[in-house]
Structure 1
Amino acid sequence: MMAGLYFHIPYCRSKCSYCDFYSLVDPPISLEAYVELMLRQIRQEGEAGGWGPFASVFFGGGTPSLLTPEAVSRLLGAARNAFGFLPGVEISLEVNPGTVTEVSLEGYRRAGVNRLSLGLQSFDDAALVTLGRRHTAAQGREAIAMARRAGFENLSGDWIFACSGQDEATLWRECDAYLALELEHLSCYSLTVEPDTPLARQAPQLPDEEVCAELFLALDRWLTGAGYEHYEISNYARFGRRCRHNESYWRREAGLGIGAGAHSFVCAGWGERWAVPSDLVAFAATMRSEESPRRIVEAFDRQGAMSESVYLALRTVDGVDFSTFSTQFGMTPEEVFAALPEADRAPLRDGVSRWRMTPEQWLLYDHLILPFL
């Protein structure tokens, strides 16, 4: 199993209308001071042992592209020294158009970043305004062009679809714009209105469930027809360009989270999930006192681990491989869930040694996994 390292950067210039992630526009601690705190946590975790070498690193947020290339270089250097990186390590940085220049992108590449995840979200300027994005469609295209000129060969773009008034015709226009960019990876999310967000207060009229389903399946047809692999509910990749870091989550592989709001997963026993509280002031106080900022969120028993393994794997095109599952747990999924009605298991069978879902079944994912929880 391969481990991943995650840095959470909860700093933003403005808050997007749909976002409910932990991030701050007016933080009580400067970004420069926060970098020093993360360096302390890296040293602390390195001294404690048990982590690494890492196969993937991911800077998420927030807006990680507010970090200077020098800060990224320091964090990666400290992590490499403390834990080690595997050859060919995937190092991803989330980038918001409008926060980078060609010079800063070249700096990130020199620092070791080899994959960018760009928060494009849409190529419809009206939709970008509704989503509370600071950039325009033109700035999104320019960010891609700058990244290519800076030497990046592995780019991912975020895409939020099913916005107000969207139908297949308008979706296709956006799809055409994304395909023209020839990105290696796409993450496509249906717009969800989260409670207590500016978007929720706007009460937008979004497409109904039937239209959303049609848009989801249209994307599947168009993107797979253009050569992308639909390898997870929301993710598409060119051959060999799946996001290794995200795959580690779906496979329940070990992962260390650095920074306020970051989560970790430990494979000890049947697995433990840890979290650093989403509180910059508390994180700073804990790190300055030399205490561990992590708190156990969930400790799994065997049944819980088996259930989570099934429902996470069913998010992916690879599904649940019986041989891998049996190696981990000593039983096949058919044996573990034999008491479930045949009607719950039969639709998932792909031959005699695998369960997986089709794109049509992914539309019913939340319903279909209920018996396995």
Structure 2
Amino acid sequence: MNIPSAYIHIPFCQQICHYCDFTKFFYNERLADEYLTALEKEIHTYIPGEKAKVNTIFVGGGTPTALNHAQLEKLLETIADHFLIEECEEYTFEANPGDLDLEKVKMLKAYGVDRISLGVQVFDDAMLEKIGRIHKVADVYTNIERLMQVGLTNVSIDLMYGLPGQSVADFEKTVDEAMQFGLPHYSSYSLQIEPKTVFYQRYNKGKLVKPPEEDEAEMYELLQRKLAANGVSQYEISNFSKPGYESKHNLTYWNNENYYGIGAGAHGYLPGKRTVNIRPLPAYVKEAMSSGKPILHEEPVGLKERMEEEMFLGLRKTEGVSTSQFTEKYQRKLSNVFGDAVPKLKSRGLLEETEDRIRLTERGRILGNEVFQEFLID
């Protein structure tokens, strides 16, 4: 089974952010030890023999770097035991500023990690505290300096906008400070208020107010403008990079390609099916240790769903969807599958079409959901 990518989930955090709805638990040394043993069992079930060759590995969370030194090394050894790291094109670890002491940074580098995604969010200590982050702005500077010191220069940082109490001027300050690092990659997301989060509870009680929609739109436009002015091009709705530094792992998702989803709550996309793993930690550990397959749910993915997702995901990219590649992949012309969807969206100014590509216009990016629903097949 040739699967080009692997996502590995580490659900532990030192602090639960108020907006986060990913599978996460407060760090506990004993539970983390048990989890890593169960995780190794799950990986071994997928890859029982020779090491797997994958193009990308992404270790996310939670906060993978919340693990202690011994646990982090065990995780890195487990991955190295099952994947051909030397043939991997991109090996990313998520990290929180403040978690990366010099020993951890050197360890990541020694085991072949070549890309770091830092959850910075904002360059404002008061706002960081308000959204439940425990790092300070100074930690960002310290951690990036350590990464550069050991040669881990392929660094991405995440930024957030549309936060409670955040003005356009506040976000502009964050973007300007982020640009000073001259990093090769930036991601930026507007706050989504998700169920089972602290912010969701506050929102329902009327104790949380987001900025007006027009302010959010202005923040997004400001982000696009300032990054472009600094030679950082937008290649996806929320992602920007210098040439050649696009996230290869995330492009696996947007190109609708297969990937392993390993760990509590992880989603995988294997040939012909999607998998969702058990989320609660004790249940995940128990099932992974007994069967090696802690899967909560499997959903078959037929041709119809694959073609729909090709459009939903592919149109997130700035370059859009190639009509010739669509035909080659599915043995059907895009126009025959989706009827008048493209001309209809072009007439509304939401799509534009070149000789071989269909992509969102600037207006289409803002109204993406309206575009995507046109590519649902009856």
Normalising by the smaller structure, the TM-score range is over 0.9
CA gap of 1:262–1:196, structure 2 versus 1, over 3 A, is closer
Match of 1:362 in 2: 365
Match of 2:130 in 1: 130
CA gap of 1:28–1:291, structure 2 versus 1, over 3 A, is same
TM-score calculated relative to the size of structure 1: 0.92
- Alpha carbons 1:275, 1:297 under 8 Å: kept: yes
1:262 is aligned to 2:266:
yes
Deviations 1:235-263 (A, max 9, x none): 11111111111110111111112211111
Matched AA of 2:223? L
1:204 is aligned to 2:208:
yes
Instruction: Give me the whole-angstrom Cα distance separating, in 2, the residues matched to 1:47 and 1:215.
Output: 48
1:20 is aligned to 2:21:
yes
Match of 1:116 in 2: 116
- Alpha carbons 1:55, 1:85 under 8 Å: kept: no
1:217 is aligned to 2:218:
no
Equivalences for residues 2-81 of structure 1 within 5 A: 3-25=4-26, 30-47=31-48, 52-68=52-68, 71-81=71-81
Match of 1:331 in 2: 332
Percent identical across equivalent pairs?
A: 31
- Alpha carbons 1:90, 1:115 under 8 Å: kept: yes
How far the C-alpha of 1:320 sits from its partner, in A, is 0.7
CA gap of 1:76–1:229, structure 2 versus 1, over 3 A, is same
Larger deviation: 288-297 or 313-322? Answer: 288-297
CA gap of 1:359–1:126, structure 2 versus 1, over 3 A, is farther
Instruction: Give me the whole-angstrom Cα distance separating, in 2, the residues matched to 1:193 and 1:96.
Output: 21
How far the C-alpha of 1:289 sits from its partner, in A, is 1.6
Match of 1:187 in 2: 187
- Alpha carbons 1:125, 1:137 under 8 Å: kept: yes
Instruction: Give me the whole-angstrom Cα distance separating, in 2, the residues matched to 1:86 and 1:331.
Output: 37
- Alpha carbons 1:73, 1:112 under 8 Å: kept: no
- Alpha carbons 1:54, 1:86 under 8 Å: kept: no
Query: Which SS does the other structure have where 2:196 is aligned?
Result: coil
Unaligned runs of 5+ in 2: none
Instruction: Give me the whole-angstrom Cα distance separating, in 2, the residues matched to 1:247 and 1:86.
Output: 20
Larger deviation: 3-12 or 138-147? Answer: 138-147
Equivalences for residues 248-259 of structure 1 within 5 A: 248-259=252-263
Match of 1:311 in 2: 312
Larger deviation: 161-170 or 250-259? Answer: 161-170
1:227 is aligned to 2:231:
yes
Larger deviation: 94-103 or 290-299? Answer: 290-299
TM-score calculated relative to the size of structure 2: 0.91
Matched AA of 1:150? V
Matched AA of 1:252? N
Query: Which SS does the other structure have where 1:252 is aligned?
Result: coil
Deviations 1:15-51 (A, max 9, x none): 10111111011669521221111111121111289x9
Instruction: Give me the whole-angstrom Cα distance separating, in 2, the residues matched to 1:64 and 1:26.
Output: 10
Instruction: Give me the whole-angstrom Cα distance separating, in 2, the residues matched to 1:165 and 1:154.
Output: 32
Matched AA of 2:24? S
Q: Please tell me the root mean square deviation across aligned C-alpha atoms, in Å.
A: 2.2
Query: Which SS does the other structure have where 1:371 is aligned?
Result: helix
Matched AA of 1:181? F
Query: Which SS does the other structure have where 1:289 is aligned?
Result: helix
CA gap of 1:86–1:372, structure 2 versus 1, over 3 A, is farther
CA gap of 1:214–1:88, structure 2 versus 1, over 3 A, is same
1:237 is aligned to 2:241:
yes
- Alpha carbons 1:185, 1:238 under 8 Å: kept: yes
Paired residue total: 369
Instruction: Give me the whole-angstrom Cα distance separating, in 1, the residues matched to 2:77 and 2:130.
Output: 39
How far the C-alpha of 1:72 sits from its partner, in A, is 4.4
Unaligned runs of 5+ in 1: none
Match of 2:374 in 1: 371
- Alpha carbons 1:106, 1:151 under 8 Å: kept: no
Matched AA of 1:121? Q
How far the C-alpha of 1:82 sits from its partner, in A, is 3.3
